[in-house]
Amino acid sequence: MSSCPLLTLNCGVQMPALGFGVFLIDAARTAEAVNTALRSGYRLIDTAAVYDNEAEVAEGIRRSNIPRSEIFITTKLWVGDHGRDRTLRAFERSLSRLKTTYVDMYMIHWPDPAEWKKTVESWKALIELMKEGRIRCAGVCNHNEENLEMLYQHSGVVPAVNQVELHPFFQQRSLRAFHRQKGIVTQAWSPLGGVRGYVGKAREVVRDVHSHPVLKGIGEKYGKSPAQVVLRWHMQEGVAANPKSMHPERIRANLQVFDFELSEEDMTAIRGLDTGVRGGDDPQSVDAGTYPWHGEE
């Protein structure tokens, strides 16, 4: 297996292009899934305070026996914890659950357009943490062009990464072009379109990566599964991706994407699958009341 490329971020840090996501892996199975992922070769683990499995991520890292310095840990600040002081407290809680002295990437999980001032306060708190060396990079998720501009205008700091819904059926081409202009790395959440599985029946019409005839047909040419084709497509598009699986054989297979290259014709065919329709929430409509959770004990 050729190894996973590293992307250089605007904070000077290198981040693996392919990571392992742990959303919706219940706590009892998280440690073993993380251990399997690390032993299979993943070096980035993507969690969040709201996933409620940071402590189990730490246990998976411990079981793997891989030195902390070789692992890139991403965690995220929940929207219910916006504002400077709450952010700093939420960070301490994440750090203590993760049993580490720093995180590689700390992200604002959702912007709160209704309370933008608090989102900016959180962003500034992340910058403080970065200056103190407690986080190596500051990033965001689910931000649009306007949100990203606002963060920059209020702080002079451009997020290193914007993690957004992105898969063959929702490709976010204009946001990605904006990221390129600003030196922001695009990272895909639901890179395999997993969101269709947990947003309720109404959205199940969104097409399925694993059974799509175009993706299956391309996979047959290379001896790869549709999931591997899609992850390879992300890599060739210059998009970082964090697929999630609870199954060891899928965890391993999802990393086997560095030993083949999609032709330009196949890349074009996948680009043609974009529907422009997201499966998850529109970030501009999310606020602290959408998912009333905060980490305060």
Ligand X SMILES: NC(=O)c1ccc[n+]([C@@H]2O[C@H](COP(=O)([O-])OP(=O)(O)OC[C@H]3O[C@@H](n4cnc5c(N)ncnc54)[C@H](OP(=O)(O)O)[C@@H]3O)[C@@H](O)[C@H]2O)c1
Q: Which residues bind ligand X (CB under 6 A)?
A: 21-24, 46, 109, 141-142, 163, 189-195, 197, 210, 225, 227, 242-247, 250, 253-254
Based on the residue annotation, tell me whether 42 is a catalytic residue of this protein.
Answer: no
SS3 state at 270: helix
Q: What secondary structure letter does DSSP report for 184?
A: P
Nearest to 64 by CA among 40, 42, 37, 35: 35
CB 148, CB 133: distance < 8 Å = no
Identity of the residue, 85 or 204, whose beta carbon is nearer to ligand X in the bound complex: 204
Identity of the residue, 98 or 227, whose beta carbon is nearer to ligand X in the bound complex: 227
For the bound state, the minimum distance from the C-beta of residue 243 to ligand X, rounded and expressed in Å, comes to: 4
Identity of the residue, 1 or 24, whose beta carbon is nearer to ligand X in the bound complex: 24
CB 102, CB 72: distance < 8 Å = no
Identity of the residue, 131 or 210, whose beta carbon is nearer to ligand X in the bound complex: 210
For the bound state, the minimum distance from the C-beta of residue 11 to ligand X, rounded and expressed in Å, comes to: 19
CB 53, CB 246: distance < 8 Å = no
Amino acid at 180: R
Nearest to 272 by CA among 217, 205, 204, 224: 217
CB 136, CB 166: distance < 8 Å = no
For the bound state, the minimum distance from the C-beta of residue 258 to ligand X, rounded and expressed in Å, comes to: 15
Q: Residue ranges of the alpha helices (H) in the chain?
A: 27-40, 54-64, 84-98, 116-131, 145-155, 173-182, 213-222, 226-236, 248-253, 264-271
Q: Which residue is nearest to ligand X (CB)?
A: 194
Sequence-distant (6+) residues with CB within 8 A of 202 are: none
Identity of the residue, 35 or 242, whose beta carbon is nearer to ligand X in the bound complex: 242
SS3 state at 176: helix
Sequence-distant (6+) residues with CB within 8 A of 10 are: 158, 160, 183, 184
For the bound state, the minimum distance from the C-beta of residue 244 to ligand X, rounded and expressed in Å, comes to: 3
Identity of the residue, 131 or 247, whose beta carbon is nearer to ligand X in the bound complex: 247
Amino acid at 71: I
For the bound state, the minimum distance from the C-beta of residue 140 to ligand X, rounded and expressed in Å, comes to: 9
Active-site position among 42, 51, 102, 291: 51
The burial of 276, by beta-carbon neighbours within 10 Å (0-12 exposed, 13-18 middle, 19 or more buried), is given as: exposed
For the bound state, the minimum distance from the C-beta of residue 239 to ligand X, rounded and expressed in Å, comes to: 12
CB 172, CB 186: distance < 8 Å = yes
Show which residues are catalytic.
51
